[in-house]
Amino acid sequence: MSADIIDGKAYAAGLRGKVAAIVPGFRAAAGRAPGLAVVLVGEDPASQVYVRSKHKATVEAGMESFEHRLPDTATQDELLALVRRLNADDTVDGILVQLPLPGHLDENEVISTIDPDKDVDGFHVVNAGRLAVGQHGYVPCTPLGCLMLLKDRLGDLSGLNAVVIGRSNIVGKPMAQLLLAESCTVTIAHSRTKDLADVVRRADIVVAAVGRPEMVKGDWIKPGATVIDVGINRVPGAEPGKTKLVGDVAYAEAAGVAGAITPVPGGVGPMTIAVLLRNTLVAAHRRAGVPLAKDAI
Ligand SMILES: Nc1nc(=O)c2c([nH]1)NC[C@@H]1CN(c3ccc(C(=O)N[C@@H](CCC(=O)O)C(=O)O)cc3)C=[N+]21
């Protein structure tokens, strides 16, 4: 093992601390706390865990957390009515509808109904468009968290070869946009990419976001490269009946070659929630007309 371990958990704790330090000034200026509304439809156990940790982190940062739970029998109209109510509620700065939704609900229509200026997930097409053309908006939390870790590690990214594996709207595409905006030479690879190993071997930066356990092998990694592993895959553990989390990168192999690598867990995952708080804080300032210094957060 030669790679430095990028401690996303520690970086995320620092970011949450920065958010918490800015909240009192906002409260004083606006006369209220920043507010995040989280909507959970159904009883999916993994989603319940995520929603609980978002709630805890929001409250710990001094912000208001509004939780809305709908049964998995909820109709599209009921969900849209709730989103519209949250759009109209001035105490709500950010709205997050936990995905995936139960199969009978139309995610696209739900996301399109969220006010883009409250879309702290950055999933609305207006925010995807703003990112693509370089306007201020909201950037999806996971890729923005990855970019923060990369800039913290490498400083200026300009001219570096970056390969993003995965083309989802939530991670791959916005990650590529962010790296392009940092003047990287960006390749988006995916399940149909030919000679993926050779493509990855040219990369100074590898962001793996495909959702396949340990798919990226150690001998694909250019020596000294920075590897960001977005994958969170639950696989059978050493003991029968137990499970463990692994990323999309074969960690032990890659850590022998890379310059730096994020672990799973404790890498990108904790950044997602910290950036959600950061986006909510930014939304609160913009909506209330309270200035926030550009480099404050
Ligand atoms: N509208 C919406 N926005 C989201 O941002 C969103 C979502 N829906 N649906 C589900 C995914 C997943 N997600 C994670 C958040 C934190 C960790 C996290 O903190 N992971 C820890 C612990 C993992 C564990 O122990 O289970 C880690 O990687 O170290 C992971 C995954 C946000 N998501």
Identify the three-state secondary structure at position 206: strand
Atom of ligand 1 nearest to the CA of 96: 1
The sheet carrying 226-229 orders its strands as 4-5, 260-261, 226-229, 205-208, 161-165, 185-189
Contact between 157 and 151 under an 8 Å Cβ cutoff? The reply is yes
Looking at the predicted structure, is the pLDDT value of residue 264 above 90? yes
SS3 at position 93: coil
The domains of the chain are located at 30-125, 141-270
Cα(43) to centroid of ligand 1, in Å?
16
> Which of 16, 41, 50 to probe ligand 1 with, by most ligand atoms within 8 A of CB?
50
Long-range contacts (CB closer than 8 Å, 24 or more residues apart) made by 283-288: 283/34, 283/93, 283/94, 283/117, 283/118, 283/120, 283/138, 284/26, 284/30, 284/34, 284/35, 284/63, 284/93, 284/94, 285/26, 286/117, 287/93, 287/117, 287/118, 288/26, 288/29, 288/30
Question: What is the overall mean pLDDT for the chain?
Answer: 97
For ligand 1, atom 1, the nearest C-alpha belongs to 98
CATH number, domain 30-125:
3.40.50.10860
269 lines ligand 1 (CB under 6 A): yes
Q: Is 177 a catalytic residue?
A: no
Give the residue, out of 58, 96, 232, with the most ligand 1 atoms within 8 A of its beta carbon, to mutate for a pocket test.
232
50 Cα–ligand 1 center, Å: 6
**Would you place residue 294 in the very low, low, confident or very high pLDDT band (cuts 50, 70, 90)?**
confident
φ/ψ of 139, rounded to 5, equals: -100, 135
Q: Does residue 145 line the site of ligand 1, with CB under 6 A?
A: no
Three-class SS of 233-271: EEEECCCCCCEEEECCECHHHHHCCCCEECCCCCCHHHH
Ramachandran category for residue 74: left, alpha or beta (phi over 0 → left; psi -120 to 50 → alpha): beta
Structure confidence by residue, pLDDT tens digits, 97-153:
999 999 999 999 999 999 999 999 999 999 999 999 999 999 999 999 999 999 999
**Global confidence as pTM:** 0.97
> Is residue 232 in contact with ligand 1, taking CB distance under 6 Å?
yes
Q: Report the 10 Å Cβ neighbour count for 103.
A: 8
Q: pLDDT of 195-207, one tens digit each?
A: 999 999 999 999 9
The predicted structure's pLDDT at residue 295: 87
Binding residue positions for NADP(+): 166-168, 232
97 lines ligand 1 (CB under 6 A): yes
Handedness of CA 109, 114, 120, 122 (dihedral sign): positive
CA 272 to centroid of ligand 1, rounded, Å: 7
Average the pLDDT over 87-97 and give the result.
98
The b/e string for 57-74 (b: 16+ C-beta within 10 A; e otherwise) is bbeebbbbbbebebeeeb
CA distance 170 to 275: 14
Residue 1 has pLDDT above 70, yes or no: no
The string of pLDDT tens digits covering residues 233-243 is: 999 999 999 99
Architecture of the domain defined by 141-270: 3-Layer(aba) Sandwich (3.40)
54 counts as catalytic: yes
Ligand 1: centre distance to CA 194 (Å): 30
Catalytic residue (choose from 93, 118, 119, 121) = 121
Tell me if domain 30-125 and domain 141-270 are identical in fold: yes
Residues 261-277, mean pLDDT to the nearest whole number: 98
Binding residues: 166-168, 232
The residue to mutate among 111, 272, 276, having the most atoms of ligand 1 within 8 angstroms of its beta carbon, is 272
Look at ligand 1, atom 11, and give the residue with the nearest C-alpha.
99
